[in-house]
Chain A
Amino acid sequence: MGLRKYFTLTRMGIIEALHYRLSLYVKIIGNLLYLILIYYLWKAIFHSAGTDVVNGMTFESTMVYLVLASALYGFMEMYVVWEIGRNIQKGDIVVYMLKPMEYRHYLFWELSGSLIVGFLTTVLPTFIVVAIVTHGTIPLGINLAYFVVSVALAMIINFQIDFMVGNICFFTESIWGINMMKQVIVLLLSGATIPIAFFPEAVKNVVNVLPFVAIYDSPLTILLNGNGDSAMVMEKLLIQLGWAVGLTILSHIFWKISVRQVTVNGG
C-alpha cells in the first residue's frame, strides 16, 4: 500500500524514458564517440610510458575499467541538478510542494524509472560487449551480484549529492556554475575519467575518504576484482552503505533548511 505510489513513479519514469527514444539513441552514439576518444588517448599514454604496465594496470584493464566507468556514468548522470534548478527557477517547485509526498522521494522514484531503462540500454550492453571482446577480463561469478548491490548504493549516493547541490539553487537562484563544478569534481575524484590507481599516493589517500569513489570506483573494483576477495568487497560495500545512509540524512537536513528558506522568504 505505502510502497505502491513509489513503484507507480518508477513505472512512469520508465515509460517516459522510453518515450524519448531518439534521445536514447543519441546517448548511445555519444557514448561510443567518447569511447573512441579514450581508446586513442590511453593508447598514446601507454605508448609514451614505454611499458606494458602503468601503475599496476595494463592497457587492457585500464580500457575495461574506463569503458565500464563511462557506461556507468552515462547511466547515472541524470542531470538531477538541472532538473531541480529548473524547477526552482521556473517556480514549478510549488506544484511538488503541494503533493502529499516529499519532493526528494518524488524525484528519486521518478528517476529510478529512467535508471532502470539506462541500465538495460547502456550498462548491460556495454558489459556484454566488453565481456565478449576481452574474453574473460571480467570474472563472471558472485562478483556480479555484489556489483548490482554496489551500483544500487552508488545510485543513492549520487542522487543525494546531486539533490544537495540542486538545493543550493534555492539560495543562489542560479545553478549553471555550481553544476559544472560538481560535475568536474565528481568526474575527476570518482574514477569515472581516470582510474583511481593512477593518482599519486597522497591524492589517493584524500580521494579515498571522499564519497565520490563510492559512486564509480567501488562498483567497478568490485566487478573486476571482486571474485574471491570477499573481505575487500565487504569493506567497500560497508563504506558505500555508510555514505548512502550518511548522505541521505544530510540531504534530508539540507532540504529542511531549503524549504524553510522558501516558506519564510517566498519562492
Chain B
Amino acid sequence: MENVIEIKGLTKEFKVLNRHEGIKGSFKDLFSRDYKIVKAVDDISMNVGQGEIVGYLGPNGAGKSTTIKMMTGVLEPSSGELIVNGRVPYKERKKNCEDIGVVFGQRSQLWWALPLVESFKLLKDIYQIPDKDYKDMLDIYGTMVDLDMLLHKPVRQMSLGQRTLSDILAAFLHNPKIVFLDEPTIGLDVSMKSKIRELILELNKKKNTTVILTTHDMGDVDALCRRIVIIDKGKKLYDNDIQHLRGFFGSYRTLKIRPKEEIKLAADELEKELKDLDIKVSISDDNEWINLLVNEDKIKVLDVLSKVQSLHDIRDMQLEEISTEEVIKKIYEGGI
C-alpha cells in the first residue's frame, strides 16, 4: 500500500502571550513581552496509506485540528517532516489543495443563498474537473442520496443534516486523494448520522479515497475506522487497529447480574467476596443491575459467574463487550 501521508517527528509550537487578570493586568499586557511556548503537537510520527480510513481522536484541545491544519498546508510545522501526496503542504498549498478535500462540521463551503448545484458548478470550474468526471461523480452521488432534491434546494433552506451531507459531497466532488473530515456528524440526529457514515464508507470504497476523520462520536469510529490514532496534549498515545484497542488495557468484559436479594446489599457483599480477583463492582444507573468489570487476561468470565452463582441467587444475567467509548474514556482519563 502506497503512503499518501508521511509524518515524522512533527511538532508545532505556538507563542502565547501570558495574559494577566483584571484591568491593570490588561494594560500590562499591552506592553508585555512575557510569552510562553505551547506545544500543540509534539513529535508525532505516522504513515497513512491510500484508501485507509483513520480515526484521529483525542479530547478537546489535544492538537487534532492543528495536525489537520498542517496536513492541509494552512499551518507551517515548527519542526519535523510532513509529506502529503509527495508534497510539503505549506510550501505548495494551492497545489496540495487540488488533491485534498476538507469538511469542517461547523463550517460550510457552500454558497448560502444559492441552490447547491451552483456551488457544485463553481467547484467544477475552480478544480477544473472535466465534464465527464463531473457527470460520473454526480451519477455516483445519485445512487447514494436523493440528489435531485438536494441540488435544487438553496443551502440556507437545508436542514443541518442535508447541509452536512452536501458539504461532504462537495468535498469529494473533485475526486481528491485524501479527504479530511473534522467532526462531520456533530449535532446530527441518529438516522442522519448513520446515513452520513454509509455515504463516507461507500465513497471510500468506490474511489479508494483516504479519509482522516476526527470525531467525538464513538459510533462514527465503530462504523468507519479500521485504524485509530489517539493523541492527547500533542503526543501520540495509540496507533493501531480498532480490535487491538479493545485489548489495550487487557481484555475487559462486563458481566451484568440481577440478584434476588436487595441490590445494594448484594453489591457490597460481592465486592468483599471478589476482592482478590481484581474485579470492579458497580451498580447500573437504573439500579437494576450489578456490573462486574472482568479482566479476562486474569480470570475467565464464566469462572466469575459460577463463583457468583455459588454465593448468590441470580435472577438474570447479561454479558457485554466493553465499548470503544469506554476504552477511549479510559485512555483520555488515564493520561498515560
B144 contacts the other chain (CB 8 A):
no
> For the complex, would chain A's binding face be called helix, strand, loop or mixed by DSSP majority?
helix
Query: Is A20's CB under 8 angstroms from B76's CB?
Result: no
- Work out how many contacts link A and B, with CB atoms closer than 8 A: 70
Q: Whose C-beta in chain B lies nearest to the C-beta of A264?
A: B76
CA distance A148 to B294 in the complex (A): 81
CA distance A263 to B90 in the complex (A): 8
CA distance A8 to B100 in the complex (A): 22
Query: Is B107's CB under 8 angstroms from A92's CB?
Result: yes
Stretch at the interface among B91-99, B192-200, B214-222, B327-335: B91-99
A135 contacts the other chain (CB 8 A):
no
**B residues 83-123 touching A (CB-CB < 8 Å):** 90, 93-95, 97-98, 100, 102, 104, 107-109, 111, 113-114, 118, 121-122
Query: Is A266's CB under 8 angstroms from B111's CB?
Result: no
Query: Is A95's CB under 8 angstroms from B93's CB?
Result: no
B66 CB to nearest A CB, Å: 7
B235 contacts the other chain (CB 8 A):
no
Query: Is B118's CB under 8 angstroms from A12's CB?
Result: yes
CA distance A45 to B292 in the complex (A): 91
Query: Is B97's CB under 8 angstroms from A99's CB?
Result: yes
A257 contacts the other chain (CB 8 A):
no
Query: Is A94's CB under 8 angstroms from B107's CB?
Result: yes
CA distance A92 to B112 in the complex (A): 13
**B residues 101-158 touching A (CB-CB < 8 Å):** 102, 104, 107-109, 111, 113-114, 118, 121-122, 125-128
**B residues 42-96 touching A (CB-CB < 8 Å):** 66, 69, 72, 74-76, 90, 93-95
Q: With A1-B128, A19-B113, A20-B113 as given contacts, are A98 and B95 in contact (CB-CB < 8 Å)?
A: no
Query: Is A15's CB under 8 angstroms from B114's CB?
Result: yes
A16 contacts the other chain (CB 8 A):
yes
B14 contacts the other chain (CB 8 A):
yes
Query: Is A95's CB under 8 angstroms from B66's CB?
Result: no
Query: Is B76's CB under 8 angstroms from A263's CB?
Result: yes
Chain A residues, CB < 8 A from B315: none
The one of B15, B95, B108, B118 in contact with A100, judged by C-beta atoms closer than 8 angstroms, is B95
Q: With A16-B113, A100-B97, A267-B74 as given contacts, are A94 and B122 in contact (CB-CB < 8 Å)?
A: no
A145 CB to nearest B CB, Å: 31
Q: Whose C-beta in chain A lies nearest to the C-beta of B122?
A: A8
Q: Quick one: CB contact mask for A233-267 with B, threshold 8 Å, 1 for yes?
A: 00000000000000000000000000000111111
Query: Is A263's CB under 8 angstroms from B125's CB?
Result: no
Query: Is B109's CB under 8 angstroms from A95's CB?
Result: yes
Q: Quick one: CB contact mask for A48-64 with B, threshold 8 Å, 1 for yes?
A: 00000000000000000
A101 contacts the other chain (CB 8 A):
yes
The one of A5, A20, A262 in contact with B128, judged by C-beta atoms closer than 8 angstroms, is A5
CA distance A267 to B14 in the complex (A): 11
Interface centre among A94, A98, A267 (most CB of B within 10 A): A98
The one of B15, B107, B122 in contact with A91, judged by C-beta atoms closer than 8 angstroms, is B107
Chain B residues, CB < 8 A from A98: 72, 74, 97, 100, 102, 109
A93 CB to nearest B CB, Å: 9
Q: With A100-B95, A263-B75 as given contacts, are A5 and B126 in contact (CB-CB < 8 Å)?
A: yes
Q: With A12-B111, A92-B107 as given contacts, are A4 and B94 in contact (CB-CB < 8 Å)?
A: no
A151 contacts the other chain (CB 8 A):
no
Query: Is B74's CB under 8 angstroms from A100's CB?
Result: no
Chain B residues, CB < 8 A from A66: none
Query: Is A12's CB under 8 angstroms from B76's CB?
Result: no
Interface centre among B66, B90, B98, B122 (most CB of A within 10 A): B122
CA distance A1 to B74 in the complex (A): 27
Chain B residues, CB < 8 A from A19: 113-114
CA distance A98 to B75 in the complex (A): 11
Query: Is A16's CB under 8 angstroms from B111's CB?
Result: yes
Q: Whose C-beta in chain B lies nearest to the C-beta of A106?
A: B126
Chain A residues, CB < 8 A from B66: 266
Chain A residues, CB < 8 A from B98: 100
Query: Is A95's CB under 8 angstroms from B111's CB?
Result: no
CA distance A92 to B74 in the complex (A): 12
Q: What are 13 A-B pairs at a CB distance below 8 A?
A: A5-B122, A12-B118, A94-B104, A95-B102, A95-B109, A97-B74, A98-B97, A100-B94, A100-B98, A100-B126, A263-B74, A263-B75, A263-B90
Other than A94-B69, A97-B74, A263-B90, give 17 A-B pairs with Cβ distance below 8 A: A5-B125, A8-B125, A9-B122, A19-B113, A94-B74, A94-B104, A95-B109, A98-B72, A98-B102, A100-B97, A101-B94, A263-B75, A263-B76, A265-B15, A266-B14, A266-B75, A267-B74
Please give the residue numbers on chain A whose beta carbons come within 8 Å of chain B beta carbons, in ascending order: 1, 4-5, 8-9, 12, 15-16, 19-20, 91-92, 94-95, 97-102, 262-267
Please give the residue numbers on chain B whose beta carbons come within 8 Å of chain A beta carbons, in ascending order: 14-15, 40, 66, 69, 72, 74-76, 90, 93-95, 97-98, 100, 102, 104, 107-109, 111, 113-114, 118, 121-122, 125-128
